[in-house]
Structure 1
Amino acid sequence: SLFLLTDSFGDVHPDSRGLGLYAGDTRVLSHYELRINGARPVVLRAGSAASYGSTIQLTNPDFLRDPGDKVDPEVVLRRQSLGVVRERLVSEGFGERIRIDNFTTHPERCSLTLRMDADFADIFEVRGVIRPERGRRTADTAQGDSVAFSYLGLDGRRRRTRLRFSEPIRVVPASMSVQEVDACLRGDGTWPEVKPTPDAAGQVLLVFDWTLAPGGHRVLDVTVRTESEDEAASRAVDHGPRPVLGEAAEAAHRAWSSGSAAVSTPHVFADRAFRRALSDLRLLVNSGPGPDERYVAAGVPWFSCLFGRDAIITALQLLTVRPQVAREALSVLARLQATEIDDWRDAQPGKILHELRTGELAAAGEIPHTPYYGSVDSTPLWLMLLGAYQRWTGDDALVDRLWPNALAAMAWIESYGDMDGDGFVEYQRHSSRGLINQGWKDSADANRHRDGTLAQAPLALVEVQAYVYRARRELARLARSRGESDLAHRQDRAATELAAAIESRFWMEDAGTYAMALDAGKEQVDAVASNAGHVLWCGAASPAHARRVAESLLGPGLWSGWGIRTLSAEMAGYNPIGYHLGTVWPHDNAIAAAGLFRYGLNAEAARVTGAMIEATVYFRDSRLPELFCGFDRTRSAYPVPYPVACSPQAWAAGSLFHLLGSMLGLEPDANKGELVLHAPTLPDYLPEVRLENLRVGETVVDLLIKRSDGSAGVEVLHRTGDLSVVVRL
């Protein structure tokens, strides 16, 4: 869970929200600024060829003999005389190589200063949580070739950050100004003495004083290690020389890619987006809380941890390209399935977790995330994933191992989930530090009536009922394959009854879509929103109503031109910059597109798919963010970024693969040795797609899908094993 956020210069400012180096839900480096001869370099270019690394190219501004002389300043080194390159890698550690080149024909004296600090803030503090009391910083050390920061938390754990440099360091008083540093450099070499005290803690300022030969260069390597006295709970980030970090990162990403299906297309932007998405997903893989466990973290920076809902939906999205992600998610979530009632954590037996945190606030009991179970949809989604994973892999051994968990999950749905026995799953928080809203739209103001008033819990969200419908169908199929016919019959009957209840209780004839929810009084929460797309995804809608929902999703209220908004622009309370009040979420759009394809509404689905792929062009590194603003395309010629969106983010990256699988109509049955492509469709901008290393059960197949005369033809390029590939138009 190590990640780094900087500005475009590569710096971390203490007054910039969110910037820093993080490990284990803790900011382990909160200040890291580079200056050359006391001045901030000028950025030439910043970019990353791979998700785990970046290169920032800079140069110098004019260096003045007396920066305070505004009348006749003397330039002692002209701009663009030096080249500065910052290469950094984040994998099992953090490393940076700083190189300075002298492009002049004479020697140049150059000072490189690094100002650094570590506040050890918990990620919840960074997000704005105010604590009545914090732990205490303990004495820093700076000597030889290293600097170390230390903190003793209220959880009793001591955390340290150690930076090591490739040459000896010179520590100067952190209070020194740029002018004072410059004066010392140009003086007789005498520096103020830094007198360490037993409790000294705070900023550290380092100076590296070099003379660069004409055409020459100098290099400084920086590596970072974080550690905790609680070794059982820590994920110590070891470090080595920068090349070692690079080799480890490249090897990990190569292994991930070789074990995944490869997607390629002649469409340059789409091809780039698919490659970036797969690389980002590898970047988000974390070691699990238990031995040999792994999971895909929800997103950087705010949610670099295990989220039940996010891990499950991401795994569903990736079944086409990497089904082992689903196996890992199913296993770790099953092990952490709740077994008792705990109101502090919103837990009841059988419930799948919402969020697991490992930082100081969680360990000290200040928040309930150890784990926290306040998610109404993680449990039915887990059952959906179990069924879908078995279809792709035929892994009946995993189903056997997790069958008690599956039965416990359904027992939660039918008891604690259905709070009043009306057949619908509702939620209401019990924890004083829990979430008010516990669906995927979990901000406090997300669920509203058309007039803008907030809906009151307990709430029965329409998409949750659809998930339960699909979960029952999957459990019935698995039970039938195990010879448990009575259970299968009960689940199928309950699913049929639930679908009818959704139609009768949630359908809004005047709006032509489903209500967001039923409120505490069992009245419809009648705002027009994107939730209805999830009903189509799960197959719980009638065909006639599915067509009406498609018209709503692509109507002027919900359709922004860049995708489907979370809330219609025609509703009171609509806000195109509101987290769930009118923004566009890629995963939400991919789910809606999958639902439209399910009901044969291919033209409508293609519009959604096209908008998502086109949006990648406008975001840095072809990376879809967690969400973006819902401004209408007629007012904005490009999608507007949401200010604090996670990027990379797991289900945003996974949405591209979800869209691909939906377009191709992929329906596997590993036990039958069959892969059906239902009316595969490629839009105009995708003439062909090559899908290699696609796995169904033990079989590997390479497919080429080509668009021709409004339909798509499928060619099997290579097949290892016995698999029947069937195209149904």
Structure 2
Amino acid sequence: MTDLVSILDGNTFLVSDRRGDIEPSFDFPTGLFSFDTRFLSTWLLTLDGERLHALSIDQAESYSTRFFLAPGEPTHYLDAKVSVIRSRAIGGSFREELTVLNHLREPVEFMVRLDVGADFADIFEIKAARQKKGRTTATVSGNELRLVYRRDAFHRETVISTSEPGEIDVAGMTFRIRIEGHGEWTTRLHVVTVVYGARGEDIRATLPYGGSRDAAAIEAEQNELIARAPKLGCDCQPLAGAYRRSLNDLAALRYESIALGVRLLAAGLPWFMTLFGRDSIFTSLQVLPFLPELIPPTIQILGGLQGHRVDDFRDEEPGKILHELRYGETAGFEEQPHSPYYGSADSTPLFVILLDEYERWTGDSQLVRLLESRARAALDWIDTYGDLLGTGYIWYQTRNPRTGLPNQCWKDSLDSISYADGRLPGFPRATCELQGYAYDAKIRGARLARTFWNDPAYADRLEREAAELKQRFNHDFWIPEKEYYALALDADGRQVDALSSNIGHLLWSGIVDESRAGRIAEHLLGPRLFSGWGVRTLADDQGRYNPIGYHVGTVWPFDNSIIAWGLWRYGYREEAGRISDAILAASRFFDGRLPEAFAGYNRDLTDYPVRYPTACSPQAWSTGTPLLLLRVMLGLEPQGDHLIIDPAVPEGMGRIELLDIPGRWGKVDALGRSRTPTNHRP
């Protein structure tokens, strides 16, 4: 990922190498993508048959990039007689302005070649290196190359045109040019991606933002969103940089659903540019105090697509909230169950949590009443289909052993749930944080029932069930000799005893017995879990610990933001501040853009956070992390029609001032200051 360059505008994104080139690959999703299909798999520039090398890259905006290039090896840069500038932008379609500059006094002839190809690979075909089942054809007409893919009714096209005449063939474009001394030559390349519907129409043309947009329109839209967010003033430069970057990335990650025609937040680039139940809900919780108007479309769409039947292929069950929604070929032909797929056990209780938190912040009771039946169905799922073994806990086991997800918690990789010695439990599994989410959903559901649904009996029942769950959980999951909660229970009810970051989510949910919260805080900030850059997903003395393992030792910014929120909830403000300070310090090394995850090495070992090689960036819930940390440090909590402000700014961070915080109270300002307002350490 570190050698790749991306630009995006909602539905469409492009990933290339540092020369701006795209080469056919199933190792990583480089290419031009839209709605889960790769519309360009080859985009390779040569000058007189020679590849170019990057002198510099301008990546100031999410939707545009400029590459400054020269031929030859890097040692030849000072002697370069010619250079090339590739200026590209994305906005519905993809545009690239290609300029060749002659630095000699005399005229020079060049051959510019752009190899072009489109494999129309589905995102899942890239992950699994599958071969296409349809047929691709290429035709040339004038200065236009059209690449067409068909498989039965599935129809996609890539149309490439050039402003300057050239020799166009089915594999690319050749320009034989003569440039005068100290002169330049330019052509403008335009790539249009076409997504055809069942009636033969271009679906994207029917979407409000689906057509081609220029950079000015994208910039204006993003600036308008950023202008609505609260204004931050602070002494901590990492916080200031991360906040601005987060707002920019949130604006860029918004996309339009083909079927639904609304703006939603995509989960992350490059793998997850679509709606995810869990990711979208957590991101919404992080963003809520800053841009609450972004939240209703997500809640309504998740409610509208709620499961209503038992479908083993899609892991669908009545009341269940979706995990992932895809639009590509494999979903369309039911080779993957993602149309939508319901394989997550946490998105359903989290849906109720978000609905309640949204009302508490905004006072939008209309939406709560509108979604009453959806919220009730979600709460019913917790006690019926969610409780596979009838023990009063949420368990998960895929109904689809062929293509379903085995692990259906947020740590969804194959080896993420293990005993302390590294063994993997069987299925079904009941991870600890799922029970915390269920507890919180019942407490919040009771408030909604009593306040808005006129059903006090239902509210009493939910509160009684929550209290019973809390008592049972604190007995069954607590490991007395280790003084922490088990990561999970296995199918026989035995404790899966690994020490993991999941215990921080328990604090956030409120299910932790008050007498045990202090010991949990000590574990989270102790040397086994806390790296100095954040809390690791798995403690460093556990059998499967790996500092660069996806869920078994890396540090996830989103995870840390929820843990900090949980510590704050139980009154551990200094500990929450330490996590906030560490994550914001790490953000400096990523230019303010926190990645999906980074390595779990100790801070005194590396002096900087080590990149995780295939981390998504930007990723929505990492983008939302600085916002939630701001809420935690300023102690922002809605209470009736008022916003409680109780700051606890980490030592050395100085002043934090957040102006025009929106909510049911109108707009208010918050100010916090650490005890020693000195320069923030790197």
Range moving further from structure 2, 444-453 or 525-534: 444-453
In structure 2, distance between residues paired with 1:23 and 1:289: 11
The aligned counterpart of 1:467 is 437
Residues 481-527 of structure 1: CA deviation (Å, up to 9, x unaligned): 12321111111121111111221111122222211111100111100
1:278 and 2:259 matched: no
Cα deviation digits, residues 586-631 of structure 1 (max 9, x gap) = 1001111111111121221112111111111112x42111111212
Aligned 8 A contact 1:92 1:249 in 2: no
Q: Residue 328 of structure 1 aligns to a residue in which SS?
A: helix
Pairwise CA distance, 1:421: 2.3
Indicate conservation of the 8 Å contact 2:254/2:265, yes or no. yes
Instruction: State the shift of 1:268 in Å.
Output: 2.6
Paired residue total? 662
> Which entry has the higher C-alpha Rg, 1 or 2?
1
Q: Which residue of 1 aligns with 2:3?
A: none
- The answer (yes or no) to whether the contact 2:82–2:101 under 8 Å persists in 1 is yes
Give matches, 1:621-660, under 5 Å.
Answer: 621-660=591-630
Tell me what 2:15 maps to. 5
Q: Which residue is 2:124 aligned to? A: 124
Q: CA deviation at 1:233?
A: 8.3
Q: Is the 8 A contact 1:553 1:559 kept in 2?
A: yes
Comparing 136-145 and 279-288, the one that deviates more: 136-145
Identical-pair percentage: 40
Matched, 1:709 2:675: yes
What is the CA distance between 1:13 and its match in structure 2? Answer: 1.3
Q: 2:168 aligns with which of 150, 153, 171?
A: 171
Q: Does 1:104 align with 2:104?
A: yes
CA distance in 1, matches of 2:310, 2:539: 38
Match status 1:214 vs 2:181? yes
Give the structure 2 partner of residue 666 of structure 1: 636
Partner of 1:204: 171
Contact 1:226 1:238 in 2 (8 A): no
Q: CA deviation at 1:104?
A: 2.7
3-state SS, counterpart of residue 28 of structure 2: coil
What letter corresponds to residue 135 of structure 1 in structure 2? K
Partner of residue 439, structure 1: 409
State the Cα deviation string for residues 33-80 of structure 1 (Å, max 9, x = none): 1112222222111231121222222233389xxxxxxxxxxx999833
Distance 1:709 1:684, change over 3 A: closer
Secondary structure of 1:625's counterpart equals coil
- Closer, same or farther: CA 384–77 of 1 in aligned 2, 3 Å: closer
| Distance change >3 Å, CA 501–CA 239, structure 1 → 2 | closer
Q: Secondary structure at the match of 1:248?
A: helix
Q: Give the Cα–Cα distance (whole angstroms) in 2 for the partners of residues 360 and 20 of structure 1.
A: 17
> Which residues in structure 2 correspond to 1:4-23 (within 5 Å)?
4-15=14-25, 17-23=28-34
Distance 1:239 1:519, change over 3 A: closer
Change in 2 beyond 3 A, CA 1:244/1:485 = closer
Match in the other structure for 1:338: 307
User: 1:110-153 CA deviation, whole Å, 9 max, x = no partner?
Assistant: 3321111000111011112535xx33333201232211111113
Cα RMSD between the aligned structures? 2.4
Structure 2 counterpart of 1:38: 49
- Note the C-alpha offset of 1:318: 0.3
Equivalent residues of 1:309, 1:378 under 8 A apart: yes
Counterparts of 2:255 and 2:225 in 1: how far apart (Å)?
13
Post-superposition offset of 1:698: 6.4
Post-superposition shift, 1:294?
A: 2.3
- Tell whether 2:319 aligns with 1:350: yes
- Alignment partners' CA distance in 2, 1:62 and 1:130: 35
Residues 54-73 of structure 1 mapped to structure 2, 5 A cutoff: 54-61=65-72
Contact 2:655 2:674 in 1 (8 A): no
Which of residues 153, 157, 162 is equivalent to 2:159?
162
Shift of residue 239, structure 1, vs aligned partner: 14
Cα distance change, pair 89–150 in 1 and its aligned pair in 2 (3 A)? same
Secondary structure of the residue that 2:190 maps to in structure 1? strand
Q: Which runs of 5+ in 1 are unaligned?
A: 64-74, 173-202, 713-729
The Cα offsets for residues 182-217 of structure 1, whole Å up to 9 and x where unpaired, read as xxxxxxxxxxxxxxxxxxxxx613112222223322
Q: CA deviation at 1:462?
A: 0.7
The residue number in structure 1 matching 2:397 is: 428
Q: Compute the displacement of 1:330 (Å).
A: 0.5
| 1:97–1:222 contact (8 Å) kept in structure 2 | yes
Deviations 1:221-262 (CA, angstroms, capped at 9, x unpaired): 11211113325784359999x995212211221222123333
Equivalent residue number for residue 274 of structure 2: 305
Q: Deviations over 1:447-503 (max 9, x none)?
A: 100111101111111101101111111111111112321111111121111111221
Q: CA deviation at 1:419?
A: 1.8
Alignment match, 1:52 = 63
Structure 1 pair 586/233, CA: closer, same or farther in 2 (3 Å)?
A: farther
**Residue type matched to 2:641 in 1?**
G
- Shift of the 9–236 alpha-carbon distance from structure 1 to 2, 3 Å rule, reads farther
Q: Distance in 1 between matches of 2:149 and 2:624?
A: 37
**Could you tell me the TM-score, scaled by structure 2's length?**
0.93
Give 5+ residue unaligned stretches, structure 2: 1-10
Asked if structure 1 preserves the Cα contact closer than 8 Å seen for 2:655 and 2:677, the reply is no
Q: For residue 693 of structure 1, what is the amino acid of its counterpart?
A: D
* Distance of 1:236 and 1:223 partners within structure 2: 17
Residue pair 2:652, 2:676 contacting (<8 A) in 1 also: no
Any idea what SS the aligned residue of 1:594 has? helix
Counterpart of 1:208, as a letter, is F
Structure-2 residue corresponding to 1:371:
340
**Residue 142 (structure 2) aligned to one of 141, 144, 151:** 144
Q: 2:375 matched to 1:406? A: yes
Aligned-residue offset at 1:710: 6.4
**Against the structure 1 CA distance between its residues 62 and 666, is the aligned structure 2 distance closer, same or farther, given a 3 Å change threshold?**
closer
